[in-house]
Structure 1
Amino acid sequence: MIKLFRYIRQRLLLENKFGKYLTYAIGEIILVVIGILIALSINNYNDNRQQRKIEQAYLLSLQSEFKTNLEKINNCLTENHNQVKAVENMLALFDDNLRDTTSEKETSDIIYSVFKGVVTYIPSKGVVTDIISSGNLNLIQNEKLRQKIASFESSLDFLKIQEVSTHEMKKELQKQLNENGSVRKVLINKGFNFEHQSISDTASNKKVFGLIKFENTLLDYYLTINATNGSRFFGGIKEQIEQILVELDSEIIK
């Protein structure tokens, strides 16, 4: 093809047809430019198609990750709700009339239900971290989805502050119980067996419910965990995850 163009140019020059030569040369330049533009267009198309493939792979991975996170946050909401109920049962023991009619076994059950564990949300973040740290977040075309993914981690940081505060309050409660009650008595009433006897075997944990300091700390703890299920913490994380899943579903090619 190049040899043909060269032959035509040389022939026009030999025949002194400069005007036609100039016109032909311009036409040849235009053809070359058009060829370059077509090549660039094809290259851009291939690049865009490859980026869309990567985007779809990320979207599917994100969908799986956030479905797992939704399940985890729902479990946290349920566990925290049960914790709120357990603390309400413990607060009721500050009523002298109710406490007098509650057995040591029932008292131990209530104490154990409050202290048996802590509610902590540990989300899966592998895909989100990879997308953000690799700079590939811009591959996701949906701007709203990009913003929600980018803000997810900051929401988790805010939640972590609340969780740390909650755990510190629970440690303080545990400390006061250790100072004024008997953990051994709770464990015995829950079925734990100890080889040797102890002075705690005849102790009663009901006396801790006559302490104003213990009640105040328990109330602080109650208000905190009650708020944790609200829109600023667990409830807000759940809503954010659900919104991300809606956006992901709209972007994934079926």
Structure 2
Amino acid sequence: MIALQINNCNEGRKAAFVEQQYLEALRDEFKSNLAEVNRVITSCDSAFRSCKQVINKMDEDGQRLTDLELQQAHMNAFRFPPKFTQSPGILNDLINSGYLSKLNNIELRSQLQRWLVTIQEVKDEEDEFWQHREKVIEFMQREYSFRKFMIEAEEGFIGEIVPNDTTKDNVSLFYDEELDNIMLLYSLVMRSLQLHYYPALKENIELILAEIEKSLSE
């Protein structure tokens, strides 16, 4: 009987050690996810401000944009598009091995299950966002003179760009109804990510980290 008790005690310590290792790995994984979602939220906020300027033709102070400012705002709206990249880590191993159900913290298990749903919802919304982004880019590639913009803006390797005799009026495109409709849809999906999907993802991550810390401190 004593030998059995000792064996059970050893097994219990071994299980506790394994769980601690998993928890520490999860903590590192979700700290990386938290840093990533903060980066994406900042990127999304910046891109949406630029989108709003293009749609309204005004800056944040309500001043009408110059032709060059309007074109620059449009470029900024696409320069750093938001996309969340999940940190590689131990969670998939926990799921595949069936160990997730063995974690002692019930709330942590619940939040990790919620994470799987939330991250898929974010990916689906991001897929829609990138589809709208591609439509805007296709329109601009077809109708817009990037050469003319770069020369007027004096950007990049300006001294190496040879002007051509294009008669394209870049600015008039921003008053084109087709582009306006595409930009509005692009902005609406981005706004949805900004206000709902990314904040929900961040909240989920923070709750997971809080439960991990609680488990490690017990």
TM-fit CA distance, 1:38: 2.5
| CA distance in structure 2 between the aligned counterparts of 1:102 and 1:239, rounded to whole angstroms | 37
| CA distance in structure 2 between the aligned counterparts of 1:190 and 1:216, rounded to whole angstroms | 29
Q: Does 1:226 align with 2:191?
A: yes
Q: How do 1:113-132 and structure 2 match up within 5 A?
A: 113-132=76-95
Residue aligning to 1:242: 206
TM-fit CA distance, 1:221: 1.1
| CA distance in structure 1 between the aligned counterparts of 2:109 and 2:96, rounded to whole angstroms | 14
Q: How do 1:1-254 and structure 2 match up within 5 A?
A: 37-93=1-57, 102-188=65-151, 189=153, 191-192=155-156, 193=158, 194-200=160-166, 203-231=168-196, 233-253=197-217
Query: What is the identity, as a one-letter code, of the residue corresponding to 1:206?
Result: V
Q: Deviations over 1:57-103 (max 9, x none)?
A: 11111111111111110111111011110001001229xxx99x643
TM-fit CA distance, 1:124: 0.7
| CA distance in structure 2 between the aligned counterparts of 1:225 and 1:185, rounded to whole angstroms | 28
Pick which of 59-68 and 144-153 moved more: 144-153
| CA distance in structure 1 between the aligned counterparts of 2:88 and 2:48, rounded to whole angstroms | 28
The secondary structure found in structure 2 opposite 1:252 is helix
| CA distance in structure 2 between the aligned counterparts of 1:236 and 1:108, rounded to whole angstroms | 33
TM-fit CA distance, 1:107: 2.5
The secondary structure found in structure 2 opposite 1:229 is helix
In the alignment, is the contact (CA less than 8 A) between 2:26 and 2:90 conserved in 1?
yes
In the alignment, is the contact (CA less than 8 A) between 2:129 and 2:190 conserved in 1?
yes
The secondary structure found in structure 2 opposite 1:123 is coil
| CA distance in structure 1 between the aligned counterparts of 2:51 and 2:91, rounded to whole angstroms | 36
Q: Structure 1, unaligned stretches of length 5 or more?
A: 1-36
In the alignment, is the contact (CA less than 8 A) between 2:132 and 2:186 conserved in 1?
yes
In the alignment, is the contact (CA less than 8 A) between 2:25 and 2:89 conserved in 1?
no
In the alignment, is the contact (CA less than 8 A) between 1:112 and 1:186 conserved in 2?
no
| CA distance in structure 1 between the aligned counterparts of 2:165 and 2:138, rounded to whole angstroms | 19
Q: 1:234 to 1:190 in 2, by over 3 A?
A: farther
In the alignment, is the contact (CA less than 8 A) between 1:162 and 1:228 conserved in 2?
yes
In the alignment, is the contact (CA less than 8 A) between 1:181 and 1:207 conserved in 2?
no
Aligned-pair identity (%): 25
The secondary structure found in structure 2 opposite 1:121 is coil
Query: What is the identity, as a one-letter code, of the residue corresponding to 2:131?
Result: E
Q: Structure 2, unaligned stretches of length 5 or more?
A: none
- Equivalent residues, number: 212
The secondary structure found in structure 1 opposite 2:174 is helix
Residue aligning to 1:16: none
Q: TM-score, normalized by length of structure 1?
A: 0.77
In the alignment, is the contact (CA less than 8 A) between 1:66 and 1:241 conserved in 2?
yes
Q: Deviations over 1:203-228 (max 9, x none)?
A: 43111122111111111111111111
In the alignment, is the contact (CA less than 8 A) between 1:108 and 1:185 conserved in 2?
no
In the alignment, is the contact (CA less than 8 A) between 1:132 and 1:150 conserved in 2?
no
Larger Cα Rg: Structure 1 or Structure 2? 1
